[in-house]
Amino acid sequence: MLYITDYHIYTNYSDGTAEPEEYISTAIKKGFKEIGFSEHLNLFRTDLTWCIDMQKVPDYISHISSLKNQLDNIKIKTGFEIDYYPGKEKEINDIISSLNIDYAIGSIHFIGENTVDSSEDFYNGKSFNDIFVHYFEIVFEAIKSGLFDFIAHCDLIRIFGLKYQGNPEPLYRHLAHLMAKHEVALEINTNGKNKPLGEFYPDVRFLHLFKKENVPVCVNSDAHNPGRIGEYFSEAYQLLKDAGYTEMCTFNRRERYMIPADFSLLST
């Protein structure tokens, strides 16, 4: 059996629609071995409705911890998806190191004051090539910061399906190189399929570059409701198999462990 995991799930502690227990029962039914929660956390904005209220953080961590101890047919992990801002490394590190979690996901939703994924209006009147490169530069800084175990949807800037004019391969090559160097894992995020983009993050044309650098990988749904756990995973696993991957990574108390992934067992 393939050891199936999903580390990118939101409950109603932030902007998910259900209690952790509902996700867990769905995951067990779908044959998952391990799932982790990843509530949105933003240290610098208190007005974001999709983020966990900082005062609820201790409740969230103790709630998930109590579930870990109740279940022996599935492993449960505690994580956060934390907005990265260049120059704010110390503040982010102070919070992450104070939390008893299994993994920290770094994400870039903001360029300056604005989110890149809320509305296509953000892109109006701007050069998409310039924004694309700028976005990658922030992702590079996030990787080099050493703050995160993996990066969420590392090319989220593709969300609205706008196309980089030219060949973006050198950017992906550098991304893979930095992930390998700084021991940051790659997420295949299947939620891009549900966006105007209609594809996974990252651009799967470049998956072989990550394999070549031996960047550890995990497949995640970015689920905001239980029904999305594991959505499109067999397609993602097939892509990993085609790229030559033979293992996937798991996380426990901020340590990464590699698990053999025999993709030849895929039934699809």
Minimum distance of Zn ion from residue 108's CB (angstroms) = 9
Interaction of residue 38 with Zn ion, rule CB under 5 A:
no
Q: How far is the CB of 81 from Zn ion (least distance, A)?
A: 6
82/152 with CB nearer Zn ion? 152
Give 78 or 107: the residue with its C-beta nearer to Zn ion.
107
Q: How far is the CB of 241 from Zn ion (least distance, A)?
A: 26
Binding-residue total with Zn ion (CB under 5 A):
2
What residues from 123 to 182 belong to the interface with Zn ion (CB under 5 A)? 152
User: Min. distance of Cβ 105 from Zn ion in angstroms?
Assistant: 8
190 lies in the binding site for Zn ion (CB under 5 A): no
Examine residue 250 and tell whether it contacts Zn ion (CB under 5 A): no
Write out the two tokens for 70: 């109740």
Q: Which is nearer to Zn ion, 117 or 137 (CB)?
A: 117
In the chain, the N- to C-terminal Cα span, in Å, equals 13
Nearest approach, Cβ of residue 28 and Zn ion (Å): 25
107 in contact with Zn ion (CB under 5 A)? yes
Least distance in angstroms from the C-beta of 135 to Zn ion: 13
Contact in structure between 136 and 102 (CB atoms under 8 Å): no
- Name the residue nearer to Zn ion (CB basis): 199 or 213: 199
Contacts of 203 (CB under 8 A, 6+ apart): 155, 158, 168, 172
Among residues 50 and 164, whose Cβ is nearest to Zn ion?
50
Query: What is the DSSP secondary-structure string of 75-97?
Result: EEEEEEEEE--TT-HHHHHHHHH
Hey, what long-range contacts does 191-198 have (CB within 8 A, 24 or more apart)? 191/153, 191/221, 191/222, 191/223, 191/228, 191/231, 192/153, 192/158, 192/159, 193/231, 193/232, 195/159, 195/160, 195/161, 196/120, 196/159, 196/160, 196/161, 197/158, 197/159, 197/160, 197/161, 198/161
Q: Which residues bind Zn ion (CB under 5 A)?
A: 107, 152
